[in-house]
Every structure is written in structure tokens, then in C-alpha cells.
Amino acid sequence: MGSFGILLMELRAALTDRGVVLIIIGGSIFYALFYPLPYKAQVAVGLPVIVVDQDGSAHSRDLIRRVDAVEQVRVIEVTREARPAETRLRDMQAAGMLLIPPDFERDILRQRPVQVGAFGNAAFMVMYSQTVTGMSNAVQDFSGEIVRERKLAEGRPPFLADTLAQPLAVDLHELFNPDGGYANYVVPAVLILILQQTFLIGIGMMGAGRREQGLARASGLRELLAQAGAYVLLMAVLLGFFLLVVYEIYDFPRFGRVADVYWLLLPFFLAVTFLGLALGQMFRSRETAMQLMMLVSVPAIFLAGFAWPAEIMPGWLVAAGQLIPSTPGIDGFVRVHQMGAALDEVRPSQIQLWVLAGFYLLLAWLGTRFHREAAVS
Amino acid sequence: MRTVLTRELKRFAHTPRLWFLVVVAPFVLPGLLIAMFVERAPTELPVAILDYDNSHLSRQIIRALDATPGIRVQGFPADLQAAGSLVRRGEVFAMVALPPELERDMLRGEAPRVQLYYNRQMLTAGNVIMREVRTAIGTVGAGIGLAQGVFPPVRTDNHPLFNPGLDFARFLALPLIVTLLHILVVIVAIDVTGRELRESTAGEWLRAADGAVLRALLLKLLPYFAWFALAGMGLLAFSAHVLGLEVRGHGGLWLGGWVVLTAACMGLGVFLAGLFGNLRMATSVASVVISPAFAYSGMTFPAEAMDGFASIWSHLLPLGHYLKLQTGQLAMGSSIAASLPHLLWLLPFVFLPLLVIKRWRRLLSDERLWGAR
């Protein structure tokens, strides 16, 4: 049979196997749509905070109004007592607390420096940074207003006030992911992982199924490559669905060229497919692939190094993670598609993907030879 | 009663897959996560500098940036173009541009502005850099301002409660370990029950239990439940210790909660296995339910900020409830009253299989339902 015939046969075999279709087509699409849902809001806003106002003055009430007005937090309670407020923080009924000290107004009027306390629940990263940023912004705003009033009272032009409130300031320019969206940050990487995991399961199930039923499996290099072509084709189509439909639905930003993305990920598709074919020769039962991949997903996403800079992990673990196709796959994809990197700027990831594709091809091929010899003897 | 148990132990002993899922994986996977997150070496994220002023002040700012714990100055690219490429290549996470005439403007009180271009696609790293640069520049500015007799009237003093070192990695590791263990429990519950149908050994199983369906299920799961409950408690306590997390609330409630979560996961697994009567299908559906559970748990993105379906689903899944209980009792010293509702929410999951007990009876006695793949 010609190579193209084998490819078509494999495609047909995969698409008529209900279990496999459910995972590689149904699973990919479902996870790609379901996984971003919790992050749809992109930015956490309106987190509940308690204000402990130990001053109870016009100035403190003005500050409270400003805190309530920032988008990150909303004031759910104003109290004089710090203790009960802390208890509510411990019991997770509030995300943060602003402490306005006694003599707040008096000290401001006497032009003494005043500090207010911004307390946030730092057991949760996003919650902490949002609440504390929100409260600090409100305080900074309030502080600027005080300077402005003072200068006006002194008869100086108010525009100088900003200068005096902050002698040296920072302008923030976001490169990529302009609104700091959480979904924008997590989902592109996860989509690549979804593609890898569902196809490793699907291809593994095909292999294990053939083994269970005692059917012949790929025996030569040509046959292996032709079979792989079927899955590469399917992955390419699903990636197209992700980039067109999922990106459109959730409105994720994109900076890169689609052609670059495909050219970069071609060796990723190949590496995943060959790894799947190699693993499929090891599984005794079809469900094992699924069970194993459910467990691998969590470590794999962190080893990819996008969620957490890889610098904090021990070197041997980072090195082991480089064997997983998603590690360079995610890195390259995020840089090209989310950050608009040119292909030569992601060359190391690209080369690594080709090396992995070659390595897993060798593994899958050796596997078929081993099995053929086992079958003969 | 003994027969179901001894039969199960024999089956277990002869199944390498179960050895892996029950004995090896519960230790290897958490070990991997601990290794990933335990090193508390300060991460210094690389930042490039574009110094167009080249003055005493600009050098002072560069030194201040380099001295912050979160970032280190690496590289002085020629222009913005070259700096952008460094960011896209991943060699630096941000660039700080110090404009010409920075020092002169500063001394004239014209409030010059430092430009920070940072990679927010890498949100965690980007936010650390933003915070550090703002603090460093703010401190330099305040120092000079003070010398000129100017200071901001009101300042904020930040207090990261429960995690003073802002050491988020450690706070993520334990929830991830729980996530993996809970996936394992569901997988095993489905595997040991569903496989009897797939391999058409269900009749033998039911006979060993003298035809009592509930007894067949309970006794089969008992050894796995006991093992995962005990080993899980040990693993969680050990992991917390290694990660340097001390119990600020009630340790008993935290670990006891794990026992209830184990039972809830077994309940969910047996429910799905019974509902579909097909090992592969039940495992697929379980994967849909529990694989994304961490994303829905509110441990990273707050559950308060989810809406519609995501919010409902987040409150429905057992994992998020247990993780809130755990964080409350372990890190925050929550009151028992605040954590108890989370524990109670897990209980209905334990009894989920009762909803499909009739179906289980048919599955175990009707040969035509066996062997589905």
C-alpha cells in the first residue's frame, strides 16, 4: 500500500474509533472551550475589603470613598475595631483590610507624614496583588489631592503639586497582554498542552487497542511516518479551530503570524505523535493512556516554565522537563503568537522541537522492531 | 465478607497498573511537585536598561534596581528595538528606559518619568517586576524629595497577611499535591470497579459478596479508601512540613477533611462508573470533571471573580471546597465555623453512588452489559 493509503487508513481507523474520537476531537474542543471559562473575567475586580477607620474624620471618609471607587476592590464594611475585621479576613469573608490610624486627619493638617496600612490575604496571589494595588492606588490618589490643596492654599500653581507629590515617577507600558488578563496569560499555553495530552491519549489508545485485539501495527519506518501523518493533520486542523474559534470567542490578543505558528509547531505535532506511538506500544490496556495523562498534565504545565519562571526549579527537573514536547512547544507558541516574536527569535525552541521529533521517531521505530522480533520469536 | 476483600487483594497484587496508581504515583507525583517548588532561592528576574541620561542619578537608579530582591540588571541594549528583541527572546522580562535630562529635570523639580516596558504575557514575572521597579524608583525619588523638603503626605504600608515573604510558590505546591491525589483516588475508584465490567468478571465479584451489591462495592473499595486516607494524611503532613508551612488552625480538621475528600472522590468515581457502566467512558467523563478542577478551585484566579456557569461549577466541585478548608486551617487559622460548611459540602459526594445503586445491581448481574470497551 502507498504511504498516502496508509495515512488515509489510519485517519479512518482513528475517526471511527468512538473512544479515540471522543478524546482527540471531542476532548480537545471541549477542554479548549471549558478551561478558559473560570478566567473569562480576565481581571479580578470588586474584591471585598473592610476599612478599619480609627479616625472617623472627614479626611478618612474621603479616603474610604476613593478606596470604594477603584475597580479592584469594594468596601463591604467600615468599622472602628481592627480585631473583628482581622477575624473576618481569617475566615475569608474579606480579601483585604485598610487601616486608617487615629489622628489621621490631625497629622495631615499638621503636615506630618502619615501611613495607612494595606492588609491583603497573601495566601492567594491574585487576590493579594489586586486588593493591595487597588488600595495603594486610592491612597496615592488621595495623597496627591492633599498636596494639591496645600499648594493652592499657598498660592502656588496646582500643576506643580503632582511634581511635589511624586518627585520621580514611573510610566508603565505593557508589552503584550495589555490589560494583564489572567486568561490571556494562562490559556494560550494550556491550549498547546490540551493538544498534546488529548493526542497522546488518543494515539496511545489506538496502539493499546491494536495490541489488545492482536492486530498488526506499524512495522516499518515508512508505515510509521505515514501513520503519523494522519495525526499531524488532525492536530493541525484542531490548532486551526483553537486559533480561529476559541481565540475569537474569548477575544484573546494575538500578535504573531499564523504561518509562523504552524511552521514552528510542525515538529511539535510530530514529536507528540511519535511519542504517542511509542507509548502506545507500552500500554496493556486502552484506559491506561488516559489515566497516565490525567496525572502528567499538572506537572507538565509547570515544567513548561510559563506560569512560573523556570529559574526557581532545580536544574535536573528543568532538564527532564525539556523532554516533554509541550515545554518548548508552549514556549515557542507563546512567544510567536502572543508576543509577536519572529521565528529566528525562538530558534532554540524550534531546534529543540525537531530534536525531540527525531528522538521520539527513533523510539517509536525501535519499539516496532522490538515487537516484531518478539512476535517472530 | 472476607472473600470480597481477599479476592480484591489478590487482584491488586497481580496488577502492575494498580501498583503504579496506588503505591508509586501517590509518592512520586507529590515528590515532583515538592522538588519544583521547595527551593526558596530568591528569583532575580533579568531586566534590561536603556540609559539615555548617563548621569549620577541614572546610575543611582540602576544600582537601586539591581539591589531589589526581585530583579537583576542584565544587559544594556543599544536601542528600544534591540531591547524589544531581548524580551521576545526571553532573555529579559522588561526594559527600563531612563530618559535624557533625567537628572537635570529632577533637580529642577520637573518630575521626570522613568519608562518601564514589561512583559505582561508572563503575568507572574511581569507583576513582580512592576512592583519592584515602582518601589525602587519611588524610594530613590522619595530620598531626593526628602532632601528637597518634599514628601508624600500619606503613604501605604503593605502587609501581606499569612505569607509575609510573598512566597507564593510554596502556597501553590500543597493545593497542587491535593489536586493530584484527588485525581488518583477518582481514577482508582473507577478502575477497580469498572474493570470488573470490562473484563466480564463482575459476576464472580458479586458472588463473592453473596449477591449483595452494596457490600460488593463497599468491601472492594475499603482497602483503597483506608490506604488513600492514611497515606494521604501522612503525605499532606509531610509535604506541609517540607514546604515549611505550619498549622495555624486545627490540624485535625485539615487532615480529617482529607479523609472526607477521599470518601467523596471514591463516591464520585463509583457514581460515574455505575452511571456509564463502561470503564473508558467513565474515565473520560471523570477527566472532564476533575482535570480542570484546579482552575475552577479559586486558588489562582479568585472564585469571587468568576461568573455564570464558572461560578456555579466552582462551588459545586469538591476540590475547591477542600482547598479552601486546607488553606484556612493551615495558613490562615480560620475558625472551625468558617471551614465547616466546606467539609459538609463534601458529604453528599460520598453518597452519590446510592443514586445509581439499582443500575449497579443490573450491571453486576446482567452479562449482556459486560465487556464494553
pLDDT for the residue B231: 97
pLDDT for the residue A333: 96
pLDDT for the residue A119: 95
Q: What percent of chain B has pLDDT over 90?
A: 65
With cut-offs at 50, 70 and 90, classify the pLDDT of residue A158: low
| β-sheet bridge partners, residue A79 | A52
Contact state of B334 with A92 under an 8 Å Cβ cutoff: yes
Contact state of B313 with A37 under an 8 Å Cβ cutoff: yes
Residue A375 has pLDDT above 70, yes or no: no
CB A177 within 8 A of CB A253: yes
Lowest mean pLDDT of A148-152, A302-306, B41-45, B346-350, name the range.
B41-45
What average pLDDT does this structure show over B107-128?
Answer: 85
pLDDT for the residue A165: 62
The SS3 call for residue A63 is helix
The DSSP secondary-structure symbol of A25 reads: I
Gap between the Cα atoms of B37 and B173, Å rounded? 6
What average pLDDT does this structure show over B78-102?
Answer: 90
Handedness of CA A41, A45, A46, A49 (dihedral sign): positive
Check if A101 contacts B (Cβ < 8 Å): no
CB B192 within 8 A of CB B8: yes
pLDDT for the residue B75: 85
Interface test with A, best of B24, B115, B123, B190 (most A CBs within 10 A): B123
Handedness of CA A200, A201, A206, A210 (dihedral sign): positive
Per-residue pLDDT of A66-98, as tens digits, reads 999 999 999 999 999 999 999 999 999 999 999
What average pLDDT does this structure show over A166-193?
Answer: 87
Residues of B in contact with A308 (CB under 8 A): 124, 169
CB A99 within 8 A of CB A119: yes
CB A73 within 8 A of CB A46: yes
Contact state of A160 with B314 under an 8 Å Cβ cutoff: no
Gap between the Cα atoms of B37 and A318, Å rounded? 12
Strands of the sheet containing B45-51, edge to edge, are A169-175, B113-119, B94-98, B45-51, B71-73
Q: Residue B27: which region, alpha, beta or left (left: phi > 0; alpha: psi -120 to 50)?
A: alpha
pLDDT for the residue A164: 58
The SS3 call for residue A176 is coil
Q: Residue B180: which of A170, A298, A306 has the nearest Cβ?
A: A298
Query: Can you tell me the ipTM of this complex?
Result: 0.90
Phi and psi of B360, rounded to 5°? -60, -40
pLDDT for the residue A248: 93
Gap between the Cα atoms of A276 and B18, Å rounded? 22
Contact state of A345 with B85 under an 8 Å Cβ cutoff: yes
pLDDT for the residue A180: 82
Residue B235 has pLDDT above 90, yes or no: yes
Contact state of A309 with B300 under an 8 Å Cβ cutoff: no
Report pTM.
0.92
Residue B252 cell numbers, joined: 485535625
Per-residue pLDDT of B310-368, as tens digits, reads 999 999 999 999 999 999 999 999 999 999 999 999 999 999 999 999 999 999 998 88
Check if B150 contacts A (Cβ < 8 Å): yes
Contact state of A38 with B295 under an 8 Å Cβ cutoff: yes
CB B275 within 8 A of CB B359: yes
Per-residue pLDDT of B283-310, as tens digits, reads 999 998 999 999 999 998 998 889 889 9
CB B157 within 8 A of CB A117: yes
**What is the set of domains in chain A, with CATH numbers?**
3-39+181-376 (no CATH), 47-165 (3.40.1710.10)
Length of chain A: 377
Handedness of CA A363, A365, A369, A371 (dihedral sign): positive
CB neighbours of residue B108 within 10 Å: 11
Report the candidate in A212, A179, A153 with the shortest Cα–Cα distance to residue A17.
A212
Residues of B in contact with A182 (CB under 8 A): 123, 300-301
Please identify among residues 72-131 of chain B the ones whose CB lies closer than 8 Å to any CB of chain A.
84-85, 87-90, 93-94, 106, 109-127, 130-131
Q: Taking every pair of C-alpha atoms in chain A, what is the biggest distance, in angstroms? A: 100
Convert chain B into a string of H (helix), E (strand) and C (coil): CHHHHHHHHHHHHCCHHHHHHHHHHHHHHHHHHHHHHHCCCCCCEEEEEEECCCCHHHHHHHHHHHHCCCEEECCCCCCHHHHHHHHHHCCCCEEEEECCCHHHHHHCCCCCEEEEEEECCCHHHHHHHHHHHHHHHHHHHHHHHHHCCCCCCEEEEEEEECCCCCCHHHHHHHHHHHHHHHHHHHHHHHHHHHHHHHCCCHHHHHHHCCCCHHHHHHHHHHHHHHHHHHHHHHHHHHHHHHCCCCCCCCHHHHHHHHHHHHHHHHHHHHHHHHHHCCHHHHHHHHHHHHCCHHHHCCCCCCHHHCCHHHHHHHHHCHHHHHHHHHHHHHHHCCCHHHHHHHHHHHHHHHCHHHHHHHHHHHHHHCHHHCCCC
Per-residue pLDDT of A214-227, as tens digits, reads 776 667 888 889 99
Gap between the Cα atoms of A314 and A308, Å rounded? 13
Please identify among residues 62-81 of chain A the ones whose CB lies closer than 8 Å to any CB of chain B.
63
Check if A294 contacts B (Cβ < 8 Å): yes
Per-residue pLDDT of A316-335, as tens digits, reads 888 999 999 999 999 999 99
Residue A29 cell numbers, joined: 474542543
With cut-offs at 50, 70 and 90, classify the pLDDT of residue A377: very low
Residue A161 has pLDDT above 60, yes or no: no
Per-residue pLDDT of A123-138, as tens digits, reads 998 899 899 999 998 9
The mean pLDDT value of chain B amounts to 91
Interface test with B, best of A124, A172, A182 (most B CBs within 10 A): A124
**What is the set of domains in chain B, with CATH numbers?**
2-38+167-369 (no CATH), 45-147 (3.40.1710.10)
Closest residue in A to B170 (Cα) is A123
Per-residue pLDDT of B146-176, as tens digits, reads 777 677 788 888 899 998 877 787 788 999 9
Gap between the Cα atoms of A323 and B228, Å rounded? 31
Distances B38 to A322, B35, B70, B177, B308 between C-alpha atoms, Å: 20, 6, 18, 13, 36
Residues of A in contact with B131 (CB under 8 A): 129
Report the candidate in A91, A168, A341 with the shortest Cα–Cα distance to residue B138.
A168
